[in-house]
Amino acid sequence: MLAVLVSCEGQRWLPEVLAAVAAQTRRPDDVRAVDAASRDDTALLLQELLPSAPLAVQRRAGFLDAVRAALAAADADRLAHDAARAEAAAAAAEPSEAAPAPTPTPAPDWVWLLHDDGAPAPDALERLLAAVEVAPSVGIAGCKLREWDDPALLQEAGFSTSPLGRRLTGVEAGDADQGQRDDRDDVLAVSTAGMLVRADLLEALGGDPALPVLGEDLDLCRRARLAGARVIVVPGAVVRHADATRRGQRPTPASRAPRWTDRRHRTHGLLAGAALPLLPLVALAALAGGVLRALGRMATKQPDRAPAELTAVLAALLRPGRLWTARRAAARTRRLPRRALRPLLAGRREVLGWHRDRVARRTWLPGAGEAPDAEPPPVTEAAAAERRRGQRTALAALLAVLTAASALGQHRLVGRGDLVGGALAPAPSLGELWRAARTPWQPAGLGSSAAADPWLSVLWALSVPAGASPGLAVTALVLLAPPLAGLGGWVAAGALTRSVPLRAAAGLAWAAAPPLTAAVATGRIAALVAHLALPWAALGLARAATSRSRRRALPAAAGAGLAACAAVAGAPALLLVLLALPPALVLLRRWSSPLAWALLAPVAVLGPLLAPALADPRVLLADPSWPVPTAPAPSWQLLLGAPQAVASPLVLLPGALLAAAALAALGARSRPSARAGAGRAPAPASRLGWALAAAGLAVALVAGRTAVTTLDLPAGTGQVPAVTGWAGAGTSLLLLGLGVVALDGAARLAAALAGPAPALVRARAARGPRTALATGTALALLAPALALGAAAAAQLAGEQDLRRVQPAAPTVARDAAASPDAVRTLVLDLADDGSAAASLQRGGASLADASAVRAASRVEGPLARPSTGAPDAAEQALRSAAAVLVAGRTDPRPLLADLGVGFVLARTSATAASTSSGAPADGSSPLDAVPGLARAGAAPAGVLHRVVPASGGGADAPDRPARARLLAADGTVVTALPSSGADVVAQLPPAPEGAGGRTVVLAERADPGWRATLDGRPLRSVQHAGWAAAFEVPAQGGSLEVVRSDPEASAWTVLQGLVLLLTGLLAVPVPGARRRPTL
């Protein structure tokens, strides 16, 4: 019987292991040692304590390969010894007599495998040999393993696996060995620590080079089972085992990443043992399992372990050569079918129990190396319940007041029709909103290549829970803006104070803040959402920065990242402030790695805008809504939080109160008595609040005074007015910073006055601060209430832009835009002096048509000296068509056909009153005499004219207006082609003999993203009329496909989806750690 000890960096345990081997009641016939390139004194110890020198192998050699090398060395020594004996016998014999052949030394029939961190009990080998002597069918016998440091604790007594390969020992950490597993005999596998294996079986099976450690025992035992040998555990044979590799106690690659190594080897074992027909399914299942486990790691707040779950699976899948070698080796020795292993696998109940116990263990105590957050001061249960009841009552009263105020002022907005006005256009359908949010091609007008506003994705996400209706989501945001803002202010204030009056004042101030009331009045829904999201982002950042537990910091930071996504999507300029936050937190010594998750999602959401913003910063300063001019606020109003000029001073009360409270807090700390009482510099919250206020003021000043686009006005009306950015995001941030400073100062003053020895030392001296605090709290509750009343009064008086109207575009024009012809409507705004402004619509304007990148492209030059950009060829074509229509003498149909125009809507000053009242326009139209146009009726928006085909045909005429057309070589229209969204799919007829080549023309700007194929063959792109996308088509017919190819947009969609998914999983709260009760 041969014992083989394999060691690698085992100096720590070797002396005890070798002493235990030497103390065996049944000693092995030979002991061989193998050293796997140890860098410590392992080799010297083995050489000193063993009779034979250790065999050296490479570090990357597997455990079983090292054992087989020791067997080969022992066989070589045995043969050499027999040869030496034969030579000695021959030399001693008489020359005339033949030397008797010596009896050859028998080869070992059993091999005892030992680890350098496993010390066997004195009778371990004797019990193993006794067990296999009475059971000739046994090929492998294993020991019961106990903990190295505490031999009373059980480690394992054989093990099984789940159907997916998870190792299950049935032993919990810390379980005492009370004989609970001693009734086991046949098992699926045993550890190689103390394993007794038949020598011929070991030689036949060999080892899998892909499983050097952590998995070699399961692979060997499984193949032994399939070869017809039994695998048993001998509970009486005990080994103290440190399990150093699996517990990360060795300086080896496998020990540095034991989970990754075990996962890779488990996947390799599943693939190697699967039936060939099921191998693709098993590979897909392994990959899907890796993805799900990675997501599970994110959900359990272990993002550092998530990549390893997936890369370990990929490391096994991307080694087909090793997999093929392992499968061939297993097939050579297999005698039984794979189903013979099923009775030995763990059942469903055991697997579910293991998962349940693991979850229970994780929820008892904080993770390793984590400190629980600071415990609040101890209070009685009755007092805590009373406090919670008072807070809930105050919050309910706050929300009720804000809801009533909103209903009083905005009740006229409830009803049928589109909610429009100011910067708010009619809401599209959910599908249209998704397509607009995911494509870099903006279909408004004649189309343009521009990144979509991230705000559209946020609005789509908000529309899904609102019955999949963007219109309902917009209405809900407008009507519920005050209570939602009050809720955000209340919850965020809880990070600084538990005072109910102070939190109520914070909620009222945030609900009555000038940026919110101005955003509601002017229809800036994106800015409204940014204002609502800011306190939640600030709360998450505060909790993540102050938490001492990584398990609590991760969901807080991820939640802040999701809120920041909504904030920066509604106000892209806030991204600059968000990126400046890490240096500020580093200076305050509050930065921690979980806070990176608060930045990752907003940067990913705004990723498509980063490249355009580097070329033109106006992209970040523009409001992602329809451009409308804004009366700039004077500097003193801007300091009080007003993003635009206000008429009523009551609206400024919340900002004035926050500014006064912040300055009072700063003045209180600057007084000598306060400094002497405090004994330290201003708190980090106050310093961060002042930094936020300064950053918000800077954003408001820059955005409110930078021209980001221009308006379309009738030609000849003089200077084209510039539209500046919206200062509301900056003033929201300004008020947030002032609120942090004010709340922090008030909370500290309240805490000092409530203590047993006030900071001002004497009760008489504290009477003044108590009065000031009470007066300030009363004013903090009164001022926002007055501001809300003023805002409601203005809304009742009709001093806001929002209103409910019926769809402005005529029904026939909307239906034609949704038909396969996808015709546009040219809208002519005719001034009284004969000038006109032209624009193109596809069934009416909507929120999805707004684009900050496209709007910013209309302004050129530096931020301080902007100039209007020159019109391109497409814009010139639109203006030419408008001029021909206004002149009324020339047939405009050739120009309108290139633009894909099927209807012309004439709007005059006389129809403006009809539009606002909802009554149809009447009277004559300046376009009634234009050739090629036929009056189609009147609508509230104006007088509608239909473009009549030149051939005189009706709706089926080949030359009818359409977005896509097939033109002959001479420029005549062969047929109109159907459109499906942005794509064109049609069957082209062959051209008449000798007709020459043809051209497919789209009423879209030429762009490299357009691709066309005919029967799968790409077509050459050209430009029609100097601006329109077109493709040359050969004379033969075929299947035509014209599509948009935007791989960059698809990549951004996948990246954003992945980042948001991971951030969302991290943001899911986990149960707080509970301490195990003491008995």
Nearest to 647 by CA among 859, 832, 800: 800
Return the structure tokens found at 80: 């050499």
Return the structure tokens found at 505: 């004042």
Return the structure tokens found at 6: 């394999």
The pLDDT of 971-981, averaged and rounded, is: 90
pLDDT at 361 > cutoff 90? no
User: In the structure, what pLDDT confidence band is assigned to residue 996 with cuts at 50, 70 and 90?
Assistant: confident
> Which pLDDT does position 716 carry in this prediction?
38
pLDDT at 27 > cutoff 60? yes
pLDDT at 1013 > cutoff 90? yes
Per-residue pLDDT tens digits for 518-552 = 999 888 999 999 999 999 999 999 888 888 878 88
Query: Per the domain annotation, does 445 fall within a domain?
Result: yes
pLDDT at 676 > cutoff 50? no
Query: Per the domain annotation, does 863 fall within a domain?
Result: no
Q: Which range has highest mean pLDDT (80-84, 163-167, 430-434)?
A: 430-434
Per-residue pLDDT tens digits for 127-184 = 999 999 998 899 999 999 999 989 999 999 999 988 878 888 888 878 888 888 888 7
Q: Which range has highest mean pLDDT (806-815, 949-958, 1030-1039)?
A: 1030-1039
Number of other residues whose CB lies within 10 A of the CB of residue 926: 16
pLDDT at 114 > cutoff 60? yes
Q: Alpha-carbon distance 84 to 105, whole Å?
A: 12
Quick check: 619 and 856 in contact, CB under 8 A?
yes
> Which pLDDT does position 916 carry in this prediction?
45
> Which pLDDT does position 85 carry in this prediction?
73
pLDDT at 75 > cutoff 90? no
Instruction: Say if residue 414 is in the same domain as residue 507.
Output: yes
Dihedral angle computed from the Cα positions of residues 629, 631, 636 and 641, in that order, rounded to the nearest 10 degrees: -50
Instruction: Say if residue 589 is in the same domain as residue 490.
Output: yes
Instruction: Say if residue 30 is in the same domain as residue 143.
Output: yes
Q: Which range has highest mean pLDDT (416-430, 1025-1039, 1064-1078)?
A: 1025-1039
pLDDT at 750 > cutoff 80? no
> Which pLDDT does position 717 carry in this prediction?
38
pLDDT at 1077 > cutoff 50? no
Return the structure tokens found at 161: 């696996």
> Which pLDDT does position 917 carry in this prediction?
45
pLDDT at 891 > cutoff 50? yes
Q: Alpha-carbon distance 1031 to 966, whole Å?
A: 10
Q: What is the edge-to-edge ordering of all strands in the sheet holding 836-841?
A: 836-841, 824-830, 901-907, 942-947, 933-939
> Which pLDDT does position 714 carry in this prediction?
43
Q: On the CB side of 245, how many CA atoms lie within 13 Å of its CA?
A: 23
- Domain containing residue 992: CATH number: 2.60.40
> Which pLDDT does position 456 carry in this prediction?
92
Residue 797, exposed/middle/buried by CB under 10 A (0-12, 13-18, 19+)? exposed
Q: Considering the entire predicted model, what is its pTM?
A: 0.79
> Which pLDDT does position 754 carry in this prediction?
61
Query: Per the domain annotation, does 173 fall within a domain?
Result: yes
Per-residue pLDDT tens digits for 711-729 = 754 433 334 467 888 899 9
Instruction: Say if residue 504 is in the same domain as residue 584.
Output: yes
pLDDT at 681 > cutoff 50? no
Return the structure tokens found at 938: 């009147």
The pLDDT of 422-439, averaged and rounded, is: 87
Q: How many domains is the chain partitioned into structurally?
A: 4
Instruction: Say if residue 794 is in the same domain as residue 827.
Output: no
Query: Per the domain annotation, does 303 fall within a domain?
Result: no
pLDDT at 907 > cutoff 80? yes
942 vs 597, more confident: 597
Instruction: Say if residue 764 is in the same domain as residue 874.
Output: no
The pLDDT of 795-808, averaged and rounded, is: 68
Per-residue pLDDT tens digits for 248-269 = 888 888 888 888 888 888 888 8
Quick check: 550 and 594 in contact, CB under 8 A?
yes
Instruction: Say if residue 345 is in the same domain as residue 469.
Output: no
pLDDT at 764 > cutoff 70? no
DSSP 949-1008: PTT---TT-TTS--SEEEE-TTS-EEEEE-EETTEEEEEEPPPPTT---EEEEEEEE--T
Least confident range of 967-971, 1015-1019, 1071-1075: 1071-1075
pLDDT at 783 > cutoff 80? no
Contacts of 681 (CB under 8 A, 6+ apart): none
CA 574 to chain centre: 19
Enclosing domain of residue 1039: 964-1048
Nearest to 65 by CA among 118, 9, 8: 8
User: In the structure, what pLDDT confidence band is assigned to residue 120 with cuts at 50, 70 and 90?
Assistant: very high
> Which pLDDT does position 539 carry in this prediction?
92
> Which pLDDT does position 713 carry in this prediction?
46
Least confident range of 58-72, 477-491, 630-644: 58-72
Return the structure tokens found at 315: 């490391």
Query: Per the domain annotation, does 644 fall within a domain?
Result: yes
Instruction: Say if residue 785 is in the same domain as residue 830.
Output: no
Least confident range of 149-163, 410-424, 820-834, 975-989: 410-424
The pLDDT of 731-748, averaged and rounded, is: 88
Least confident range of 156-160, 358-362, 959-963: 358-362
Instruction: Say if residue 876 is in the same domain as residue 781.
Output: no
Return the structure tokens found at 615: 């070329």
User: In the structure, what pLDDT confidence band is assigned to residue 965 with cuts at 50, 70 and 90?
Assistant: very high
Q: In this structure, which long-range contacts are made by residues 221-225, counting pairs with CB atoms below 8 Å and at least 24 apart in sequence?
A: 221/140, 221/188, 221/189, 221/190, 222/188, 222/189, 222/269, 222/273, 222/341, 223/330, 223/333, 223/334, 224/139, 224/140, 224/197, 225/188, 225/336, 225/340, 225/341, 225/344
Instruction: Say if residue 913 is in the same domain as residue 988.
Output: no
Query: Per the domain annotation, does 106 fall within a domain?
Result: yes
pLDDT at 760 > cutoff 70? no
> Which pLDDT does position 1050 carry in this prediction?
87
Q: Alpha-carbon distance 353 to 365, whole Å?
A: 20
Number of other residues whose CB lies within 10 A of the CB of residue 332: 11
Pairing mode of beta strands 230-241, 138-147: parallel
362 vs 544, more confident: 544
> Which pLDDT does position 414 carry in this prediction?
79
Q: Alpha-carbon distance 162 to 344, whole Å?
A: 10
Nearest to 88 by CA among 212, 997, 80: 80
> Which pLDDT does position 920 carry in this prediction?
45
Quick check: 370 and 550 in contact, CB under 8 A?
yes
pLDDT at 1008 > cutoff 80? yes
Least confident range of 50-59, 61-70, 706-715: 706-715
Per-residue pLDDT tens digits for 87-101 = 777 776 666 565 566
Instruction: Say if residue 898 is in the same domain as residue 989.
Output: no
Query: Per the domain annotation, does 851 fall within a domain?
Result: no
Q: Alpha-carbon distance 473 to 255, whole Å?
A: 53
Query: Per the domain annotation, does 195 fall within a domain?
Result: yes
Instruction: Say if residue 722 is in the same domain as residue 824.
Output: no
